[in-house]
Structure 1
Amino acid sequence: MHAFRLITILLLNALGVMLFLSWYLPPDHGFWFAIDKSIFFGFNDQMVDHHAFALLVAVTNFRGFDAVSLLAMGLLYLWFWRRETPPGRRRMLAIGITMLLTAVVLNQLGHLLPVKHASPTLFFDNVHRVSELTGIPAKDASKDSFPGDHGMMLIIFACFMWRYFGLRPFLAGLVIVVLFALPRVMAGAHWFTDIAVGSLSVVLVGLSWWLLTPASDALVNWLYRSLPGKYKPQA
């Protein structure tokens, strides 16, 4: 491993650890709590004042809407898929499987953090639940919302796009992160810091060792050689 890359990994790890500790160590999470509270009540009050906004929040937090985020990621991936040769598509399949496995493992590791944190809709009294305001069975509460697993999956996708496809796909991935992680925050199913601290800190520490070393390439190459199919390389 090049020294520059190792330094980059260590800096990303330090950033992830400091980000988490800046939230975890201070009493009542320090300045982060004021940010979380302001964001939550800002959206929560708007849902009462504007029924159309409440409907938007409810629809985007309906379980079936998760398929739209998958569709958005799939369409971005398809854009590159259509421009690849058959062997290139085989490699993209290997990258996609690696990405899914990475997301599952990091999500499980993230929930090993010593944090038990109920969502703001369960933490505060006298709050408005979008499911009650609209009658739509939206996800607007969680007994353990830290770190945000939905947001983590989206961030991992964006990072994989950067690692294997470049900066512009990464920026498109970031747009997807914002568009599809924000509804959980608007509904109060997650605190802002569940994603901005929890998800991000896990990704900074875990994904840096995976994507900035030969580790992810090793799995991609193994899958490329091992998966069945017409264009399987000859031994």
Structure 2
Amino acid sequence: MANPTLFHAKWNLSRLLLCNFIALGLLGIWMWPTGHALFNQFDTWFFHLLNRPLEQSVLWLDIWTVASLRPFDAVVGLILLALLIKGDWVFKAVQVRAAIFGFVSILILLLIIRTLFSKWLDHSNLQHDSPSMVLDGAVRLSDIFPTLEKSWELKDRSSQSFPGDHASVLLIWAMFMSAFSSTLLQRVLIWGLALLCMLPRLVAGAHWGQDDYIGGMMIALLALGWGYYTPYAAVACNLWLKATAPVFGLLGRVPVINRMSLIEPDTR
């Protein structure tokens, strides 16, 4: 089985410390009363900038209503997955399987960090409601389309909006892809897509900007640091590769499917 090395089972202390320093620095600035007040002031302006056009343009309203539905998250997930497993774009075809196992392993670590951080938040007074619940004049999609909230899980509010879970996943995907990208165009497309897909929650008012650029960024940086700049990704990836080798060996014999980059390395 081809197993090109993407991850190295060694510590990169300088990058690990940098990720942790930036993450904790963001949290510290956010917790500082003066910093927190400035973030709130900026986010109030930013929310109204994005949210007010919902009542001024039917097209703007329709676009962000669709983008705020839960099924749209699945569409975004499929797009991110497709770019991750596309052979010979960011990753060579023979690297795709290792790449997806490494990313999934880091994503699991992100969820663990998010869970632990949430438990700490539960015992603090730092949690807050989303802007659509507290700001006067907010245009609420759930008020305009009440049936969509139940039938299609329209997301425009949260009583626990910090940190932005949706943003943290998009950011860790962008960071992971950027770590292996080789051209400026790739990085522009990766980050452009990630930032664009973060907008629906901000436009609808489910999250403040700080939930994403502070909370989401902090969680993503911690996951990247402890997942990629330690032996974690290499060890986890190798375990995944060994455990799934028989399955991919069988799939490698199935016509059409064995042409996929995710499957093909086993047949070479």
TM-score grouping bracket, smaller chain normalisation: 0.7 to 0.9
Tell me the equivalent position of 2:201: 184
In 2, are the aligned partners of 1:119 and 1:189 still within 8 Å (CA)? yes
Tell me the equivalent position of 2:93: 84
For 2:22 and 2:98, locate their aligned partners in 1 and report how far apart those are by CA, in whole Å.
Answer: 32
Give the total of aligned pairs: 229
Tell me the equivalent position of 1:146: 162
- Which 5+ residue runs of structure 2 have no aligned equivalent? 1-9, 253-264
Tell me the equivalent position of 1:11: 18
Q: 1:92 to 1:27 in 2, by over 3 A?
A: closer
**Secondary structure of the equivalent of 2:86?**
helix
Instruction: Report the AA paired with residue 181 of structure 1.
Output: M
TM-score (norm 2): 0.75
One of 166, 172, 176 as aligned partner of 1:156: 172
In 2, are the aligned partners of 1:46 and 1:53 still within 8 Å (CA)? yes
One of 77, 97, 101 as aligned partner of 2:104: 97
Tell me the equivalent position of 1:122: 133
Structure 1 position 203, deviation (Å): 2.0
Structure 1 position 206, deviation (Å): 3.5
For 1:18 and 1:96, locate their aligned partners in 2 and report how far apart those are by CA, in whole Å.
Answer: 25
Tell me the equivalent position of 1:213: 230
C-alpha offsets along residues 74-112 of structure 1, whole Å, 9 cap, x if unaligned? 220232279524xx4543442343244234223323423
Q: Which has the higher contact order (CA 8 A, sep 6+)?
A: 2
One of 132, 140, 163 as aligned partner of 2:143: 132
Q: 1:96 to 1:16 in 2, by over 3 A?
A: closer
Tell me the equivalent position of 1:108: 115
Tell me the equivalent position of 2:255: none
Structure 1 position 128, deviation (Å): 1.8
2:42 is aligned with 1:42: no
In 2, are the aligned partners of 1:58 and 1:131 still within 8 Å (CA)? no
Identity of aligned residues (%): 26
Structure 1 position 143, deviation (Å): 0.6
For 1:207 and 1:133, locate their aligned partners in 2 and report how far apart those are by CA, in whole Å.
Answer: 39
Instruction: Report the AA paired with residue 58 of structure 2.
Output: H
Q: 1:212 to 1:28 in 2, by over 3 A?
A: closer
Instruction: Report the AA paired with residue 104 of structure 2.
Output: I
- Which 5+ residue runs of structure 1 have no aligned equivalent? none
* CA RMSD in angstroms, aligned pairs only: 2.6
One of 189, 212, 223 as aligned partner of 2:240: 223
Structure 1 position 44, deviation (Å): 2.3
2:40 is aligned with 1:24: no
TM-score (norm 1): 0.85
For 2:100 and 2:64, locate their aligned partners in 1 and report how far apart those are by CA, in whole Å.
Answer: 34
Structure 1 position 171, deviation (Å): 4.1
Q: 1:177 to 1:163 in 2, by over 3 A?
A: same
For 2:215 and 2:61, locate their aligned partners in 1 and report how far apart those are by CA, in whole Å.
Answer: 26
